């Protein structure tokens, strides 16, 4: 939080109010000390006394807004920052702090406008660029976020956290080549950080580069041979590459250690489907559904396929209908193809 630590001279205000400028300054200085000491409620009271004596001094409203932010009184802080900006549009830090208040009250568009205004005045402010990138991601304005993160990366090219954020942002928006580029840079700078191999493996899998993903997973497993997440991704890669026997072996091994994992049962069931073991696949996928998998729509999709291949068309259609309701898009295709009267 940006807190003003000084007060402008008050001689001008004395001629208008007839009040003691020293008294105003005393209340402001007291409020600043109180807020710095964590006594924000007392600081609000001191700043309020100063405002009673001199209501047209922007910096007092600004400082009371800061104290109110420390008290998590964001709506009241917005009022104070509004008054500060109204009285003095050159009070640049008020725009930054008002953005924090707006964000705390979920007024993201106003928060973004304040950050934009602040950065017009201080274009190289890394704190504001970082804040705008975070806010843009929350608002799903990914192009803005990426531009700001790339600017920050230019200013601090060795900052690993920025590279991670850029890689994650690219992955989130489906730019798998971009994500891989940033993970490549991370691994070039930090070759011993094996977690980056696993992260890049996910990106490569999403891009359909299963062999490259396998290379990364195997490098990761040399250091973490029992890591269930990496083993699961390895099994998924086998599955996508139509190596169903290898995938099944890993899924069953993982289930031996985590038999309540409904998602793993679903993966195992789909493996059996691809191998044409429809009766067993139905049994396993039913177990997945009863285990409350993270993605039950996938299990209903698979069980519907298993039942359809056994001639249980009505039951299959019921499963696909449930899968569709749970967000499994492929279930709609099966419903349209096999279940329309």
Model confidence pLDDT, tens digit, residues 132-175: 999 999 999 999 999 999 999 999 998 999 999 999 999 999 99
Per cent of the chain over pLDDT 70 is 93
Ordered domains of the chain (ranges, CATH): 1-121 (1.25.40.10), 157-241 (1.25.40.10), 242-341 (1.25.40.10)
- Give tens-digit pLDDT for 231-288: 999 999 999 999 999 999 999 999 999 999 999 999 999 999 999 999 999 999 999 9
Residue 11 predicted with pLDDT over 50:
no
Which ranges of the chain would DSSP assign to H, the alpha helix?
11-17, 21-36, 40-53, 58-70, 74-87, 92-104, 108-121, 126-138, 142-155, 160-172, 176-189, 195-206, 210-223, 228-240, 244-257, 262-274, 278-290, 296-308, 313-325, 329-338
Q: What is the DSSP string of 68-99?
A: HHHTT-HHHHHHHHHHHHHH-TT-HHHHHHHH
- Average pLDDT score over the chain: 92
pTM recorded for the entire structure: 0.80
């Amino acid at each position: 939080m940006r807190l003003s630590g000084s007060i402008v001279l008050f001689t001008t205000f004395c001629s208008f109010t007839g009040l003691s400028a020293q008294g105003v300054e005393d209340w402001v200085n007291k409020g600043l000390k109180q807020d710095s000491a964590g006594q924000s409620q007392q600081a609000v009271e001191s700043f309020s006394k100063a405002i009673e004596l001199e209501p047209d001094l922007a910096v007092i409203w600004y400082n009371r807004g800061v104290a109110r932010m420390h008290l998590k009184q964001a709506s009241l802080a917005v009022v104070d920052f509004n008054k500060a900006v109204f009285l003095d549009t050159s009070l640049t830090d008020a725009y930054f702090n008002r953005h924090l208040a707006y964000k705390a009250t979920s007024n993201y568009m106003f928060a973004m406008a304040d950050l934009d205004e602040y950065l017009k005045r201080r274009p190289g402010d890394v704190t504001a660029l970082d804040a705008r990138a975070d806010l843009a991601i929350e608002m799903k304005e990914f192009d803005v976020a990426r531009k700001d993160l790339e600017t920050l990366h230019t200013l601090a090219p060795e900052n690993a956290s920025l590279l991670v954020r850029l890689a994650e942002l690219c992955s989130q928006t489906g730019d798998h080549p971009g994500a891989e580029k940033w993970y490549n840079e991370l691994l070039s700078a930090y070759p011993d950080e094996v977690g980056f191999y696993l992260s890049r493996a996910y990106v490569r899998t999403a891009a359909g580069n299963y062999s490259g993903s396998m290379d990364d997973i195997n490098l990761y497993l040399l250091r973490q041979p029992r890591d269930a997440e990496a083993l699961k991704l390895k099994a998924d890669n086998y599955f996508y590459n139509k190596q169903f026997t290898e995938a099944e072996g890993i899924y069953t091994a993982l289930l031996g250690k985590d038999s309540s994992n409904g998602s793993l049962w679903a993966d195992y069931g789909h493996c059996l489907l691809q191998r044409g073991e429809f009766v067993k696949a139905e049994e396993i996928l039913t177990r997945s559904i009863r285990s409350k998998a993270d993605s039950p729509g996938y299990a209903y999709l698979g069980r519907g396929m298993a039942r359809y291949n056994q001639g249980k068309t009505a039951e299959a259609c019921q499963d696909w209908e449930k899968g569709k309701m749970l967000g499994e898009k492929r279930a709609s295709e099966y419903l349209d193809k096999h279940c329309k009267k």
